[in-house]
Amino acid sequence: MIVYFSGTGNTRYAAKALGIMLNDDVMDIKELIKQGARVKFYSDKPYVICAPIYAWRFPPLVESFIENSDFWGSNKMYFVATCESQTGDAARHLKKCCKDKGLDFCGFAGVPMPENYIVMYKVPSEKEQDRIFGRANAQLARIAGVIDNYGQLTDELDMKLLKPFTALVNPWFFGAFVSSDKFRATNKCTGCGKCTKVCPYESIRLKDGKPVWGPKCTHCMACISSCPTQAIEYGRRTVGKERYLCKREPNIKIK
């Protein structure tokens, strides 16, 4: 069973591609969280948990989802991260989580995909995105091959020497930088409500036809990138920047 979280669509793409290649079910963590109850999974096939990398780890929301869910049937756990280029120390935390839950950690792999963090960076050009997806498709096929044979996944993006810095970078990033305070809707807002539906924390509500952000936020970029009129800005950091939303669907033919 493939279980994924995605803010702007890259990981949804990766999860769906793996679902096709492994002929397995694909489930969206965002939808499961919204149901509120503790999730009890059952699968005879290995579990493949897919998420983006945020500051060199899986998002806190995903780590706590795994901690608070039950995985029955197979106890084999694979982890696939999409990222811009660096997976940091994500694997170590997931390995520990598996150990604590009595699950069999079968490896972790990072797949580079287009950058979505427009608060800090720019989105790559369409041409560059095509190149990145070409490489990602090849990597996803390699990953599916390993999982299909119950092999051990390895991370080709392993940072080795930089890994220990995750212990500093990740808490600093989430403590000092990740906040909803700077989100605002400009007068381009039509009050369509789309931003309220895509937030994994259901943190956004409409007040007098305009979005208002609650305190819970993981900077997934879903709200700002999904707005059909590009009415959302994050302070001045996103003004004039292209938004990133992956609308591609995997085009995989099974022989």
Which residues make up the interface to ligand FMN (CB under 6 A)? 6-11, 52-56, 82-86, 88, 113, 115-117, 219-221, 246
How are beta strands 26-28 and 2-4 bridged, if at all? parallel
- Nearest approach, Cβ of residue 220 and ligand SF4 (Å): 4
The verdict on 33 binding ligand SF4 (CB under 6 A) reads no
229 binds, among ligand FMN, ligand SF4, none (CB under 5 to 8 A by kind): ligand SF4
Region for residue 39 given its phi and psi (left: phi exceeds 0; alpha: psi -120 to 50; beta: otherwise): beta
The verdict on 220 binding ligand SF4 (CB under 6 A) reads yes
How far apart CA 236 and CA 207 sit, in angstroms, is 23
123 binds, among ligand FMN, ligand SF4, none (CB under 5 to 8 A by kind): none
- Nearest approach, Cβ of residue 144 and ligand FMN (Å): 18
The verdict on 229 binding ligand SF4 (CB under 6 A) reads yes
Which residues lie across from 26 on neighbouring strands?
2
198 binds, among ligand SF4, ligand FMN, none (CB under 5 to 8 A by kind): ligand SF4
How far apart CA 121 and CA 116 sit, in angstroms, is 8
86 binds, among ligand FMN, ligand SF4, none (CB under 5 to 8 A by kind): ligand FMN
- Nearest approach, Cβ of residue 91 and ligand FMN (Å): 13
DSSP code string of 70-138: EEEE--EEEEEEEESS--TTHHHHHHHHHHHHT-EEEEEEEEE-----TTTSPPPPHHHHHHHHHHHHH
The verdict on 62 binding ligand SF4 (CB under 6 A) reads no
Burial class (CB within 10 angstroms; exposed 0-12, middle 13-18, buried 19+) of 194? middle
The verdict on 235 binding ligand SF4 (CB under 6 A) reads no
46 binds, among ligand SF4, ligand FMN, none (CB under 5 to 8 A by kind): none
- Hey, which residues between 176 and 205 contact ligand SF4 (CB under 6 A)? 180, 185, 189-195, 198-201, 203-204
Which residue, 14 or 221, has its beta carbon nearer to ligand SF4? Answer: 221
Burial class (CB within 10 angstroms; exposed 0-12, middle 13-18, buried 19+) of 184? middle
- Nearest approach, Cβ of residue 91 and ligand SF4 (Å): 24
Among residues 115, 91, 118, 119, the alpha carbon closest in space to that of 105 is found at 91
The verdict on 221 binding ligand SF4 (CB under 6 A) reads yes
Which residue, 24 or 115, has its beta carbon nearer to ligand FMN? Answer: 115
Name residue, tokens 């969280």.
Answer: 33
User: Which of 231, 244, 246, 250: binder of ligand SF4 (CB under 6 A)?
Assistant: 231
Among residues 64, 65, 26, 70, the alpha carbon closest in space to that of 48 is found at 26
